[in-house]
Each structure stands twice: as structure tokens, then as C-alpha cells.
Structure 1
């Protein structure tokens, strides 16, 4: 089984968020593996693709991911 690229892992998370957070923890774990493989220190998400694109939604996402060991930033 081939490893996921960082961009593919992020796309899977967008899909999970749109599907009411289905399998989100599994996708976060895959994202961590992809980040380690590519040497990334943080995951960059496009805020416009989020289900809740407001400050509260972004902060909630950052907090949830941080608890699972992933630093999240948002692209403008």
C-alpha cells in the first residue's frame, strides 16, 4: 500500500469534515504520517473549504488537531 501524499491527506480531511466528521481521527493519523514523510511541521488548510469558515470554527479545528499532535494553519 502506497503512502498518502500531504495534499491527498488534506483532501481526505476536507471530505471527512463535509461528511459530518466521519473517520476524522483516522484521517488525522494519516495526515501525521504524511507530514512526517514530507518533513512538514504544520498542515495548511484553505479556510474557504471548511464547513464552518468562521473564527470559532477555525479555532475549534486548530484545538482538536493540536490535541492529536497536528499544528494547523489557514491559507488566505
Structure 2
């Protein structure tokens, strides 16, 4: 897992969200590891690629990831 890039980790999250949150918690753990390894404080997602691209969906995603130790922001916001 040490060779996983931030882009790949974020793409895995998008794929998981698109497939009904399949293995989402595992992908969040991997993302958290990549963020920590690279010294990055937050993950940035594109709202257009989210299944629920509305305010409520983005806030729900932020809260879910925050409970797992990952700060989420969105590009263009």
C-alpha cells in the first residue's frame, strides 16, 4: 500500500461511491494513510464526480470522513 498515490486513493473513493459505497471504509483508511505519509492535511474531491452532488450530500460525506479521521474539502468551494 505504500506505493498508492493520492490520486489513486481518491479515485478509489470515487469508484466506491459509484458502486454503492462498496469497501468505502477500507478506501478511507488507505486515503488517510496516504495523506499522513505525504503530510497533506485534507483530501480534495470534485463535487461533479460525486453521486450526491448537493449541499446535503457533501456535508454528509464530510461528516462521515471526519469520523474516520479524514478532512474533506471540495474543489471550487
Q: Which residue of 1 aligns with 2:33?
A: 33
Structure 2 unaligned residues grouped into runs of 5+: none
For residues 2 and 72 of structure 2, the distance between their equivalents in structure 1, rounded to whole angstroms, comes to 24
**CA offsets, 1:13-62, max 9 Å, x none?**
00000000000000000000110111100000000000000000000000
Q: Which residue of 2 aligns with 1:64?
A: 64
Whether 1:16 aligns to 2:3 is: no
TM-score, normalised on structure 2? 0.95
Count of residue pairs the alignment pairs up: 76
For residues 3 and 59 of structure 2, the distance between their equivalents in structure 1, rounded to whole angstroms, comes to 29
| Structure 1 residue runs of 4 or more that deviate by more than 4 Å after TM superposition | none
TM-score, normalised on structure 1? 0.96
